[in-house]
Amino acid sequence: MVKQTHLNVTVDFTKWGESQKDLRIPAHQPIKALILNLAETLKFELGSDTKYSLKATNKGILLSDDDKLTDYPITDGDILEIL
């Protein structure tokens, strides 16, 4: 089975004072790079206390720093909360 290169997910930015957004994101990037790219693309300010962690709230999976979405059972439709 071929792994998807991108996933259609909902990203919850409430910890950053923003709303949830439905996005198509690359599955191969490390979580830290993904969060930095999302912040830059969406023009969000990162605080000095940014943890570079995501939680798949509907699956109870915690990902951080060098973890990649492709290494976990994250699929289209999942909700990823930025911590």
Over the chain (83 residues), the average pLDDT of each successive run of 10 is 83 93 97 95 83 93 96 96 93
**pTM: predicted TM-score of the whole model, two decimal places:** 0.89
Token pair belonging to 16:
């950053």
CB 56 within 8 A of CB 79: yes
Parse the chain into domains and list their residue ranges: 6-82
pLDDT of residue 2: 54
Architecture of domain 6-82: Roll (3.10)
pLDDT of residue 4: 81
pLDDT of residue 49: 73
pLDDT of residue 51: 82
- Write down the residue that tokens 């940014």 correspond to: 50
3-state class of 38 per DSSP? helix
Token pair belonging to 51:
């943890």
